[in-house]
Structure 1
């Protein structure tokens, strides 16, 4: 670069380069010092093999979008999964579920040809609706995991490890057998896992599995043959692992994920189209209940709920699942929910219900009577402010006849109803399980994706250095 020198009255070359040469040794030493410090810090932060491999991949291919999200899936011996469903017909307890194993656990596809005008919702969504059994979660998750975008066959890269064990299908041994037989498969898996190199990394704290049944089925209280279930979650190895199930029984390592419902779309467009349809639906009934009474459960309020529904003079629709074969028909069930502003969800055998997710899918505002039905369960999937999307009525108030469900619901303003329905509509994508091969721009943050993100977040807490 040139500049004018007034003393010599001419343009001369700037003296900068000579100054640079004079001070460059000091600068070089300074930069070398910073570089060494940086290398040392990098070594401390990223010394583990998995992180180094991720950094190498990122350096070679640019930004690694899967860094911190890689999941490794164990290739279990078939006795822990495939064999359990291969012989489904051999077990009387499972026979009514065998036909639902098709289509990656979604069950038989629903066709317009199978029904009449009640299939209005199918006319715009043919191909996305299936007759899905509520206990198929393990099969669905395994198939979804096979298409997970950050699945790796290199366990050293993984942040979490998935164990595709069909724990819920071991239900064939939940009763009528001695406890030794019931616990045998779980103990076998515990030995298999603890012998793997992946286990020794964090002794199972980075492992997780899915159970398609409620948590209490795997926490037998004693070793008496008369007690229900097995002791899977009482085994030391499984106490370290994370379990995802349709209902939790403990607040330590169990986390509830949505029951499978009937809608399994392949694109975001399908979801938006369905949301638009439930938004525009005209609803004839103020409230409805789909279910059966529980006369053998003294604490059940279903009898009172049914009585109030039947006494509502046409404001409530009751689909009796004790006498009505249509309760097993997804189209009939969804037709009731789509026709209702509010859907009553009293507890059944356990606090949670698959019906809750069916009704939300239909755009119906749920009415809960027990906080364990949703509020204390599916915290990853629902707004923290429960009043935004649901109504709560105390079980005790119903039992003692203190509250009229109809009078309480009819007092809710149209403005608040509209607001709650908008929230329910927003929840729909979060509680569905999309088709396994949905990738790219059509990918939806469904229940599976949300669960994977939270599992990875949970595992990362175990990996944080203690100060």
Structure 2
């Protein structure tokens, strides 16, 4: 005999399915999710492997992880003290910013610094004192309160490569694994090496260190990965000091940047050339603030300056240069009397290497005249900008052609 209950279920199957679904829904929504919710909303912490800091993800991480920049987010399985699974994230803030630094033989950098007394060829300066404080030089005495104490140092304009190297040693995203590096730094002090041999040496001597460098680099596995296209170096002199186009003994500089290997590398220098892979950055000034408050304090002081002179000029005549306009600028400045302030930088006249003397003049002037010096730019340009004095150029190459990029980085 047929079971009546089974018969009813079969005859009314749609209603039976609907009844089961209804009961399931009641059980689903009546389930206590409080424990699960508590675990889900619990504070998740992330350990930053680079700094060892614990980060509060509720306040630090955006809800949409795709908005995180310069970071790689990896979901990692983690459990709490009870063994229950919880969600965690690990952020590598250095992704895209890792730098690998070549450990060059000491002859390419440290030996040059250790023999700093030899770096005076062609000048009357002893370079050794300028190497204090990681290349910033000694702190400047400020008896007249022209500067801000603890922020100004006697920095030599040709020590950019030393300053940069010391800064790079403290860079937070250094790596010993060149395969994850976004760029590879070559700490060759090309400018200091060049300063030894610019005057009175043949081209073989001037090119010796450059040839030795590219030979050493070309034998490294890091070089062979991209043949140097991810390599860069920083030079403390202008790019043209490393672009001698012939082997004539009378031609200036070395041919570092015309060597086949060097052409693949990028170079940051005081002035860029019109050739590829050169990038201009400013001369290092003497202002090295260590915190934001020192910058704000300096800005406030500059805004309050009483500028009694219409224009000023700090420099010396260059009679050896036939096309130099400096002599005429000096004559007109002297003739202008109260309208122009002249800081005569002839040897023995005034210590123009002392920023106190220079900044005192620039802070009292509206316009600062900036004719070309040994090259199209001068460090005085950046000193005048710091002083709030408007630089006035006399040659298009100072700002518009090869060196236009300088002012995008000030």
Please classify the TM superposition score into its range, dividing by the shorter chain length.
Answer: 0.7 to 0.9
Cα shift at 1:377:
4.5
Alignment match of 1:361 (pick from 372, 386, 393): 386
Alignment match of 1:342 (pick from 367, 384, 389): 367
Indicate if the aligned counterparts of 1:260 and 1:354 stay in contact, CA closer than 8 A. yes
Alignment match of 1:266 (pick from 279, 290, 297): 290
Cα shift at 1:289:
0.5
After superposition, the C-alpha distances for 1:418-444 in whole angstroms (9 at most, x for unaligned) are xxxxxxxxxxxx53xxxxxxxxxxxxx
Distance 1:246 1:381, change over 3 A: closer
Cα distance between partner residues in 2 of 1:91 and 1:366: 31
Cα distance between partner residues in 1 of 2:269 and 2:190: 10
Which fold has the larger relative contact order, with Cα–Cα distance below 8 Å and residues 6 or more apart in sequence? 1
Alignment match of 2:355 (pick from 330, 343, 359): 330
Distance 1:102 1:55, change over 3 A: closer
Which shifted more, 247-256 or 136-145?
A: 247-256
Alignment match of 1:303 (pick from 327, 347, 354): 327
Indicate if the aligned counterparts of 1:255 and 1:377 stay in contact, CA closer than 8 A. no
Alignment match of 1:101 (pick from 124, 131, 151): 131
Indicate if the aligned counterparts of 1:179 and 1:225 stay in contact, CA closer than 8 A. yes
Alignment match of 1:154 (pick from 140, 156, 177): 177
Cα shift at 1:380:
4.6
2:159 pairs with 1:110: no
Indicate if the aligned counterparts of 1:258 and 1:378 stay in contact, CA closer than 8 A. no
Q: Which residue of 2 aligns with 1:460?
A: none
Cα distance between partner residues in 2 of 1:92 and 1:120: 29
Cα distance between partner residues in 2 of 1:349 and 1:92: 17
Indicate if the aligned counterparts of 1:88 and 1:98 stay in contact, CA closer than 8 A. yes
Indicate if the aligned counterparts of 1:175 and 1:229 stay in contact, CA closer than 8 A. no
Distance 1:59 1:157, change over 3 A: farther
2:153 pairs with 1:130: yes
2:147 pairs with 1:121: yes
Q: Which residue of 2 aligns with 1:62?
A: 90
Cα shift at 1:16:
11
Alignment match of 2:271 (pick from 228, 233, 247): 247
Q: Which residue of 2 aligns with 1:188?
A: 212
Give the number of equivalent residue pairs.
Answer: 336
Q: What is the CA RMSD across the aligned residues, in angstroms? A: 2.5
Cα shift at 1:149:
2.4
Indicate if the aligned counterparts of 1:210 and 1:244 stay in contact, CA closer than 8 A. yes
Q: Which runs of 5+ in 2 are unaligned?
A: 1-13, 26-69, 77-88
Q: Which runs of 5+ in 1 are unaligned?
A: 1-6, 19-53, 384-429, 432-467
Query: 1:198-209 maps to which residues of 2 (within 5 A)?
Result: 198-209=222-233
Cα shift at 1:91:
5.0
Cα distance between partner residues in 1 of 2:396 and 2:24: 75
Q: Which residue of 2 aligns with 1:439?
A: none
Cα distance between partner residues in 2 of 1:318 and 1:215: 30
Indicate if the aligned counterparts of 2:312 and 2:365 stay in contact, CA closer than 8 A. yes
Alignment match of 2:21 (pick from 14, 38, 60): 14
Q: Which residue of 2 aligns with 1:402?
A: none
Cα distance between partner residues in 2 of 1:151 and 1:342: 43
Q: TM-score, normalised to structure 2's length?
A: 0.77
2:182 pairs with 1:175: no
